[in-house]
């Protein structure tokens, strides 16, 4: 097989302490170094990242930004300046195994032409736990990782899928020309679920995402995304899930899923806020059965707590859902224009793509009030019929 030029793009912000490890791991790859271009996009670091790279790793091409423009935009920036046929994306807190790049390029080269992207297997830093070995998406746009946290080699370690709906953006390989042609990552996402959206979009446009279980990277979990305050992370997760739904479903599916997704987003606000109807002078909503009795009792407890703290503000974690919906409204014209672009180029029906969704619904919370609302919305709006899930 002729060797192909590969551009490895690493987005970083204040991650100088990670870069020596990942760059050394890339220098030890079995894939020929002369066919690899290394690009680091420095998103406004204040720890001397750019100066460190220029002094100690002069072969690395550095793209400095004055501010943190987000993971999605940084990857697009690197892709726009890359020269390779293939684009490899890695988080700065990854450590690829020595044969990682060779196996990823080999997998993509051996795949049918429709497969333009390969997802990598990701394990914990010590190689004992599964981080990413495939994934799926809830009907309301939230991605999840199969087997996350399971012991490697255990029953919880999922069997390798042949195709995935999306790769993990922290360790993936993609045809750079296709990445650019389909719009790359949506920069409105900033971070989180931009890879879910990208993979979903590829399938809609007629491409496929493969998986190479023997190409392994090790992830220092929480070292990058874990630095964000929870309330800010929740805004991004809630908002970007709604972006996913609005852009990628066809018109028929969207007409059912969109109101359901919004209703459940509001319900999550209520659950996180822990604020009962009685606080607004409203009678508790009627609930039947044992679960109804439990949730009514929870409302009474919340009401007592609220009366003891009448001026308590809404928690930031709860307000995140409100901001997410506000962002959808703010960006609605542009989102609808992107949706129009995608739908006009659609090559696969939603029915064809649903086989990549989980066979059963995945609720985002185990809270009894939310679970009850989830079932009510899914059943009442016949969401299962719309997306082919149970």
Distance, in Å, from the CA atom of 40 to the CA atom of 19, rounded to the nearest integer, reads 9
Half-sphere exposure of 366 (CA within 13 A, CB side): 0
Q: How far is it, in rounded angstroms, from Cα 390 to Cα 388?
A: 7
The whole-model pTM stands at 0.91
Distance between CA atoms of residues 124 and 129, nearest Å: 5
3.40.190.10, 3.40.50.300, 3.20.20.100, 3.90.550.10: which CATH number matches 6-227?
Answer: 3.90.550.10
Whether 206 has a pLDDT exceeding 90, the answer reads yes
pLDDT per residue as tens digits for the range 217-231: 999 987 666 578 889
Q: CB of 116 within 8 A of CB of 172?
A: no
List, for residues 30-43, the tens digit of each pLDDT value.
999 999 999 999 99
pLDDT interval class at 270 (50, 70, 90)? confident
- pLDDT surpasses 70 at 302: no
- For residue 170, the SS3 value is coil
Stretch(es) of the chain classified as CATH 3.90.550.10: 6-227
**Diameter over CA atoms, the chain:** 72
Whether the pLDDT of residue 304 is over 50: the answer is: no
Distance CA 51, CA 63 (A): 12
What pLDDT, in 10s, does the model give residues 317-376? 888 999 999 999 999 999 999 999 999 999 999 999 999 988 777 778 888 888 989 999
């Amino acid at each position: 097989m002729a060797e192909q030029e590969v551009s490895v793009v690493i987005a970083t912000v204040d991650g100088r302490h990670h870069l020596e490890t990942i760059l050394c791991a890339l220098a030890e790859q079995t894939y020929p170094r002369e066919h690899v271009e290394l690009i680091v996009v420095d998103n406004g670091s204040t720890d001397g990242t750019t100066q460190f790279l220029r002094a100690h790793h002069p072969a690395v091409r550095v793209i400095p930004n004055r501010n943190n423009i987000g993971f999605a935009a940084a990857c697009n920036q690197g892709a726009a300046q890359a020269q390779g046929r293939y684009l490899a994306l890695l988080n700065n807190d990854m450590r690829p195994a020595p044969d990682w790049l060779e196996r990823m390029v080999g997998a993509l080269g051996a795949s049918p032409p429709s497969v333009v992207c390969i997802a990598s297997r990701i394990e914990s830093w010590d190689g004992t736990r599964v981080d990413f070995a495939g994934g799926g998406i809830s009907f309301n746009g939230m991605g999840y990782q199969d087997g996350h946290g399971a012991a490697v080699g255990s029953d919880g370690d999922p069997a390798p899928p042949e195709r995935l709906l999306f790769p993990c953006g922290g360790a993936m390989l993609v045809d750079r020309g296709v990445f650019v042609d389909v719009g790359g990552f949506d920069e409105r996402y900033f971070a989180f679920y931009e890879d879910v959206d990208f993979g979903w979009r590829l399938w809609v446009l007629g491409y496929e995402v493969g998986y190479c279980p023997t190409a392994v990277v090790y992830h220092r979990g929480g070292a990058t995304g874990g630095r964000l305050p929870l309330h800010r992370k929740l805004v991004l997760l809630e908002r970007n899930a709604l972006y996913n739904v609005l852009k990628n479903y066809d018109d028929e599916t969207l007409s059912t899923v969109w109101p359901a997704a919004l209703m459940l987003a509001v319900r999550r606000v209520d659950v996180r806020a822990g604020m009962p109807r009685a606080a607004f002078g409203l009678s508790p909503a009627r609930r039947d059965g044992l679960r109804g009795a439990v949730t009514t009792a929870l409302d009474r407890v919340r009401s007592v707590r609220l009366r003891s703290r009448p001026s308590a503000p809404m928690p930031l974690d709860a307000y995140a859902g409100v901001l997410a919906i506000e962002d959808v409204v703010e960006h609605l014209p542009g989102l609808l224009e992107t949706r129009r672009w995608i739908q006009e180029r659609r090559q696969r029906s939603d029915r064809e793509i649903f086989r990549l969704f989980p066979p059963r619904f995945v609720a985002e919370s185990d809270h009894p009030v939310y679970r009850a609302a989830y079932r009510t919305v899914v059943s009442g709006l016949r969401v299962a019929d719309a997306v082919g899930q149970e």
